[in-house]
Amino acid sequence: MATHSRGIIDRAPSLADTVAVRLREEIVSGRLRPGEKLPTEQQISETYGVSRPTVREAIGRLKHDGLVITRQGAGAFVADPGAVSVFRLDIADFSNREEIRNIVELLMAVEASATEHAAVRRTEADLKAIQTQLDAMQQAIIRGESGVDEDLAFHRAIIEATSNPFFRDMSDFLDRRVRNFIRTARTNTARLAGLTDAVQAEHQAIFNAIERRDAGGARNAAETHLKNAAQRLALYLNP
C-alpha cells in the first residue's frame, strides 16, 4: 500500500510527487501530529533541494486529499484525521493477483448491498430502466455478441435505483476498472461462448427479486451472480 504507482504506465514520478509522498509519510506515520505546523515552504524547499513552486505543488496534493490545511500568512497544518473528508482508493498494480482478489471482494460487498437497497427503494421508472437493459442484453446474446457493455449497463441501472450517490460512484469505478481489466486480459472471447446464457439467467433472477421488492432475495441473487462472475474471472487468469 505504501507503493505509489502511476497507474498503468510507469512514468517517472515528478519532483513534486516524490516530495508529496515523503511529506505524506511524515503525516501518516505520525511523526507530524494532527494540528502541528508543517515546516515553511522555504524550509521544505531547502531540505529537499527543490524550488518553492515544486513544494507548493506537493503541499497542494496533500491539501487536495484533506491531509493538511493551509492558512495564508500562518502556515500549513496537519488536519485532524477525524475531519479528513476525502478518501482515496488507489488501485496501483492490477497485475497483482492478490490486489485483484481484494478489489473483487470489495466490489462484491458494495454491489450486493446496492442490489439489496435497490430492491427496496426502486421506483417504477427504475424497474423499467433495468428491464430495458435486461432486454438489450438478451438481444446482444441473440446477435452472438459478448454483451459486456450491455452487462455493465444492466448493473448501472440497478445501482442507479439505490439513489445513493456513494454506491453509484464507487461501484461505477470498481465495475469499470474490473471490466476494463477483463477486456484487456482475455485473449479469446470464444471462451465466453456458452456462458452468456448462464449469466443472463442470473440477471433474470436479480431482476425478479427487485421486481417483487425482495431485499434478501435480491442480495442472494446478486451474491451468487458475483461469485460466479468471480469464478469466471478466475478462468481468465488461470487458463
Q: Do 119 and 217 meet the contact criterion of CB atoms below 8 Å apart?
A: yes
- The contacts of residue 177 (CB under 8 Å, 6+ apart) are 91, 94, 103
Is residue 53 a contact point for a copy of itself (CB under 8 A)? yes
Q: Which triple of cell numbers denotes residue 135? A: 432486454
Site residues (CB under 7 A) for DNA? 14-16, 38, 40-42, 49-54, 56, 59, 70-76
Cα distance between the two ends of the chain? 28
Choose among a copy of itself, DNA, none what residue 36 binds, the Cβ cut-off being 5 to 8 Å by kind: none
CB of 57 to a copy of itself, least distance (A): 5
Q: Do 103 and 110 meet the contact criterion of CB atoms below 8 Å apart?
A: no
- Which residue number, 109 or 201, has a Cβ lying nearer to a copy of itself? 109
Q: Which triple of cell numbers denotes residue 239? A: 487458463
Hey, is 78 helix, strand or coil?
strand
Q: Do 120 and 89 meet the contact criterion of CB atoms below 8 Å apart?
A: no
Choose among a copy of itself, DNA, none what residue 50 binds, the Cβ cut-off being 5 to 8 Å by kind: DNA
- Which residue number, 76 or 210, has a Cβ lying nearer to DNA? 76
- Which residue number, 10 or 124, has a Cβ lying nearer to a copy of itself? 10
Q: Do 183 and 175 meet the contact criterion of CB atoms below 8 Å apart?
A: no
Is residue 103 a contact point for a copy of itself (CB under 8 A)? yes
Sites of contact with a copy of itself (CB under 8 A): 1, 5, 7-9, 11, 16, 53, 56-57, 60-61, 64-66, 69, 79-92, 94, 102-103, 105-106, 108-110, 112-114, 117, 164-167, 169-170, 173-174, 176-177, 179-180, 183
